[in-house]
Structure 1
């Protein structure tokens, strides 16, 4: 069965996330830092009365830190039963991938980022890293961290 992905940029890399996991895409707004959270948790923002943890996806994947600016975007996604925000450089488009376009990740040893990916999709000469959202967060109650 085909699946639809929203694709986005993180540096020179194109990543994709299942469209059904996305609640909304919003402009960057500074996050309020929290003490005692993992280093990839940038902080929290208020989303219409809901406290939303914001993850620095670049840091989580082991690709350095994001230096957010007005051009960055927060993609609000469902991870498990909680809404989370992930910081990305820009949103690209929606693509549909057939099962035969999905490939497993090559065995490249103990690469940090590979544990957060479902595989690779090739569409029109583009390689898209497909994000496994459920593996991005440690099971932590952020409310306890504050």
Structure 2
């Protein structure tokens, strides 16, 4: 199902759209406590109004270089299989309305890392990838060479 509204985020210079219906909260990244023996893309856990939220470093998840200063990072809190997850992104933009007729299939030239999680693209001033939370969480993301 094509979402009617998207929260726009930026990760490694790529504009992504996440279905607003899946977003519970958008916060500035705060204190994150590391989790021993967790995969490197698990940044740790954080307390969000009394709830323990697993923080996912999407830069590490997609094989991007780490951000030099995490202080300005944002966190988009989503629910997946009944558990809250904070997706750490570089920046959060606006909520936009989407006309399903504007959504196009992935072009063959789309970077492989984005193809793995994309439900399609939307051509704005720049190319926006419609990111699937399920695919981000489920996929064994292979880093593009």
Q: Would you call these one fold, judging by a TM-score over 0.5?
A: yes
| CA distance, structure 2, for counterparts of residue 109 and residue 90 of structure 1 | 21
Name the counterpart of 2:126: 126
Q: What's the CA shift string for 1:93-138, capped at 9, x where partnerless?
A: 1111111211121235992332122121113x33111111001224
Instruction: Give the deviation of 1:71 after TM superposition.
Output: 1.6
Give the TM-score, by structure 2 length.
0.83
Structure 2: segments with no counterpart, 5+ residues: 140-145
Structure 1: segments with no counterpart, 5+ residues: 140-146
Instruction: State how many pairs are aligned.
Output: 138
* Contact 1:28–1:68 (Cα < 8 Å) also in 2: no
* Contact 1:61–1:116 (Cα < 8 Å) also in 2: no
* Contact 1:116–1:132 (Cα < 8 Å) also in 2: yes
Give the TM-score, by structure 1 length.
0.83
Q: Note closer, same or farther for the CA distance 1:35–1:17 as it changes in structure 2 (3 Å cut).
A: same
| CA distance, structure 1, for counterparts of residue 111 and residue 70 of structure 2 | 32
Aligned: 1:20 with 2:21: yes
Matches within 5 A, 1:1-146: 3-108=4-109, 111-123=112-124, 125-138=125-138
Instruction: Give the deviation of 1:11 after TM superposition.
Output: 3.0
